[in-house]
Structure 1
Amino acid sequence: MKVGAGNAEIMFQKELFPLEGFCGIHDLPKVSVLVIEEAQKVAIVSIEIVMLWDDFIEKCRKAVAEITDTPPENVWIHVTHAITTPHAPGGPRIGLGGEVTEGKEDSEEAELLKKRESYENTIMHALQKAAEEASLLKEAEMDVGTGSCDLIRGRDIETPGGWWIGIDGTGESNETMTVLGFRDTDSNLIAVLLSYGMKPCVIDNSEMEKGNRLISADAPGLCCRELENSLGTTVLYCTAAAGDRVPVKTAWYDQVGSDGKPETVDLGVQQGIAFAREIAGQMAAAAEKIIDEAKPVRVNEISHKAGAFVWETKGRIPLQPYRELTFTSDGKKDVPVEIISLGSVVLVAGKPEINAITERQLQERSHYRNTLYLSMVNGGMKYMPDLESYHRISWESQASMLMPGAAEAFVDKAIKLMEEN
């Protein structure tokens, strides 16, 4: 097996501000690229950004494919969904309920176009730089390790009027952190892939209305920086099943007010940054322990498979607590499913964010020792919650663009791909 890796900072320029309440930068997010070859060649890209639109993702896939000599269909562009990063100025984004909406900044059109060009060029430059580094492959072996990292909680909370999102909520959780380490023939690390179910939202939307937001890769990104410094290697963070999870500490959240209705608590950007640094240190410590105890896994062949299933979509509804609600179909949509198998490890990629219960169902039915889900790969589709989430009328089920049953159909399709010869 041969492996190459590289990363580069997304050097956002001053001309981008103000934008979406951002006024500056706390830490620069990164683009990281991992290329693996054994019969087939695949490239996994992790971009520490909130989201990217389909047209630009295709440009990114083609760029990585050309630079690393990887088939375009074998390139995965994963965004970590770091909330404390800006959407494209004036460009499309996935709004509440999964609707693709246009930006509504107050800038003049010419200024927006200038900001958008700067935004695109900055991300593409980092991507190309990281891909160039990753194109230099070395003979390698893979280690796999898992361990507990108790830094996430449920976000679904019950209010008198129905279910909403907050902190210290209920629901099934998965505190398992999985690390894939790739080492050269001298046992030096080439790259680390870190899979964990924490959405980068410790700082979240704090002080958006005041215009005090600072760009950050949030706790998972800061964790990667600590590991890169201590291990001297490229570290990719891949957000797993985090649809109904939140970090143990967050600076911006909803709670049930004295009137029984949701109310927002904003602890401020600086408190959010302090939380993010604290959690990043705890994540990094857990990851280093797992890396030290990881065991080698033989990879004789890499297999990439892709498929899709058709599912009914649903229209947008006002997001609020409900005790009763009927979901109504308004069309159909293809839901992509992809897998990459590496020995006893399989990576499962989807566009939507899923809940921990769906991740468990996927892992229970998989014949692979380690089954990892990567959300928001090659685009986003908002949430794909489990059936129980629809029964409770959770926030995720309201915001989903898919009718009930999609998560279960996704698991069926993924397992079918795993079992194909």
Structure 2
Amino acid sequence: MSDAVEQGETVSPPPLRPRQPLQHTLAWLLALACLYTLYFAKSLLLPVVVAALFALLLSPLVAVFKRFHVPRTFSALLLLAAIGGPFTLLGSQLAEPAQKWWERLPELSAQLSDELDAFGRKLTPSEAPAPQTVEPQQGFRLFGWLREEPAAPATAAPANGDPALSDRVMQGGMEVMVKALGATPAVLAQFFTFLVLVLFMLIFGPSLYSTFIQVFPQVRDKQAATDLLEQVQRELSRYILTVSLINTLLGAVTAGVLALMEVEDALLWGVMVGLLNFAPYVGPVIGMLVLCLAGIVQYGPGLEALLPALVFFCINLVEAQFVTPTVLGQRMRLHPLVLMLWLILWGWLWGVVGVLIAVPLLVCLKLAADRMHLLQHWVKLIESPL
């Protein structure tokens, strides 16, 4: 080293080590910042994301109309009317039974609390223990900090159950109704924002995307970017339409079987289980719980009350184990554990709507990453066999 310096030779510095820990830290901080933004800006981002998924679903149909020289504005309005018409008709048919069950929620809650109180009294011993006398002057010091005040003498519970518990349940049901009514204006505003965004994305979205590809220099392969969007639109539309058809058939079969069993409001329960099935694992469990409640209301507390939930469980088992894997094939395979964690994440972020759009969003991200050859290890993890 000293000889090289004396001879005037330049000594190259040692190579710098890559700063992998710093990059990983920045990546985790970026991910946490994205989660923070998704959680606290959900009122803004929710209609935008749902509208983008819906526009991706309908864009291939608008492109087909465009080939026949149909203006995009007319085709977009026609598709929205064709989709919204049947849903409006179905909603008008289900409005009366849904309102009836909504009004019966406080009564059902009080009835269930009475049944639970009666079941609890059966489990308690018939002879109550002798009351212990507590001197009012003395107290009990909990962990040396809190002093417990002498308890008031307990009064005997009436024979028809604890009225305080029923009052609390009734009050809780009223609070839920008040919160739902208070959130109605915000929900309506988000719904109209969603409709406007879908319409504008279907009409002006393709031209904006084409301009983005041509103007921005970061997009080097212009044709590959165009093909990527078309492939994602086509495969996502195929997936959502297939799943929607399967869930519609599931709801129709469930409603038909429940109607044959003379279950009250069978059409309402069929539509409910069909919508809930868009959230795998979580939706069917909620559907079975609701059907158990409907069975208890109609048949009373007994084994007969479990029949509607048992019928739906059998139908859903056939659909989940045989129909859906056969129709979708291996290309749309999602690992159950990854899917459950994804559902929990989006349920925490955006509530019920987040759970419903979690699977289409995961499929969209997986397709985009697979076509762009990005994050291949994550794609293989999501598609890992059971």
Is TM > 0.5 for Structure 1 vs Structure 2?
no
TM-score bucket (shorter structure): under 0.3
Calculate the TM-score normalised by the size of structure 2.
0.24
Larger gyration radius, structure 1 or structure 2: 2
Q: Specify which structure has the higher proportion of strand.
A: 1
Calculate the TM-score normalised by the size of structure 1.
0.23
